[in-house]
Amino acid sequence: MTLINIATIKQKQSIIGVSLLTKLVKDHGVALEPLLKAASISPDLLDDAKAKITLKQDFDFVTAMLKAIDQPLIGFYAGQCFRLSAFGNVGMAAALSEKVEDAIELFLKYIGLLYTPFDISFFKNEGIATLRFSDQYELGALRRFYIERDFSFALVSSRDMFPRTLDDRKFRSLHFDFDCPTSVVEYEKLYQCKVKFSMPYNEVVFDERYLYQTLPLANPLTRQLLEEQCDTQVIEILGPSGYAEKIREIIRTNDGTIPNLEDISEQFYTTSRTVRRKLKEEGYTFQALLKDELARKAIHLLQTTKLSIEQIADRLGYGESSSFIHAFKRWTGKVPKSYRG
């Protein structure tokens, strides 16, 4: 899959993600104003709950913060600032879900509101549940910070949803795909579970039975009302879905054939030429979208199912597995089997 260059990102998000880090900055005795200036963020926006910034501004602020604070484990401490309440309607709706699995699925449904730069896959296999974090952007030196921050949030959100002890529901392990920056013992003390480094993927791994725990604040009707507000918030912050996102959804849900632009254009009651022009205005091409979504779909099936390569090839619309394998190597630089656990 093609990673997006940070410099080209114009997508908006709530300023709350940055505002949550301001206390961390001040606690380390670092002046906040220069960090905001480096990200072209007006200090006045921190007092506006509806203010929006671009993802690039978020990245620029974090870049400046990491330069100013000499703390190898700052990603963990940043994640501790991201309590469920900080996510507004999404966080409250998650806490009011019936089961842990319902809360996770709600978070993934509204992932665009969660300040994370990663794609997150959720799957179960032989009694083990996994949240796998995959890169969307070329994060460079920021990558470890965001991974550790999001894993730390996963830990603190579990505590928020379960006010009582979690002794029988702790994560089984965390997997990082980078080398240990300090010591494994230090990481395991902070994250309260086994931590493994230099692994193939960045993952939170836990017992599947944890998913079926009933949340103490479960309230289906109130959650439904909050979900409706989340839908409104998605439009307010991210804007209405453009052609690119609509086409991505068509490719995601299509099975058995490889979608072509002409057929998709008919679904929009317009011409392929018009769709090409609209995609160009949004910064995309149809072939790039098709490649990325087929690659995502293939990787998801490889990682989360026991389907054979031939069956996955058929699901994606390839008549022969050899054609799929060739295309997959072109997309990812790897053979499909390398994505099998």
| 127-169 pLDDT, tens digit each | 999 999 998 888 999 999 999 999 999 988 887 877 554 455 5
Burial class of residue 46 (count of CB atoms within 10 Å of its CB; 0-12, 13-18, 19+) = middle
Note whether 178 and 295 are same-domain residues: no
Check if the beta carbon of residue 152 is closer than 8 Å to that of residue 76. yes
Query: Which two three-digit tokens encode residue 314?
Result: 């058929």
Number of domains in the chain: 2
pLDDT tens digits, 212-256: 988 989 999 999 999 999 988 887 776 767 788 888 889 988 888
Query: Which two three-digit tokens encode residue 39?
Result: 């990200």
Note whether 112 and 39 are same-domain residues: yes
- The reported pLDDT for the residue numbered 175 is 97
Three-state SS for 91? helix
Q: How confident is the model at residue 23 (pLDDT cuts 50, 70, 90)?
A: very high
Query: Which two three-digit tokens encode residue 6?
Result: 């940070």
Q: Which residue has the higher pLDDT, 175 or 10?
A: 175
Domain range spanning residue 132? 6-233
Structural domain ending residue among the three candidates 178, 205, 233: 233
pLDDT tens digits, 271-286: 899 889 888 887 788 9
Report the predicted TM-score, pTM, of the whole model to 2 decimal places. Answer: 0.80
pLDDT tens digits, 91-136: 999 999 999 999 999 999 998 888 899 989 898 888 999 999 998 8
Which CATH number characterizes residue 260's domain? 1.10.10.60
- Residues 53-78, mean pLDDT to the nearest whole number: 94
Check if the beta carbon of residue 118 is closer than 8 Å to that of residue 146. yes
Q: How confident is the model at residue 341 (pLDDT cuts 50, 70, 90)?
A: low
Q: Is residue 238 part of a domain?
A: no
In angstroms, rounded to a whole number, what is the distance separating the alpha carbons of residues 331 and 323?
12
Note whether 205 and 115 are same-domain residues: yes
Structural domain ending residue among the three candidates 207, 233, 259: 233
Q: Which residues of 216-249 are buried (b: 16+ CB within 10 A; e: fewer)?
A: eeebeeebeebbeebeebbeeebeeebbbeebbe
Q: Is residue 18 part of a domain?
A: yes
pLDDT tens digits, 24-65: 999 999 999 999 999 999 999 999 988 989 888 999 999 999
Taking Cα atoms as reference points, which of 115, 12, 117, 113 lies closest to residue 54?
12
- The reported pLDDT for the residue numbered 12 is 79
Note whether 138 and 283 are same-domain residues: no
In angstroms, rounded to a whole number, what is the distance separating the alpha carbons of residues 263 and 291?
17
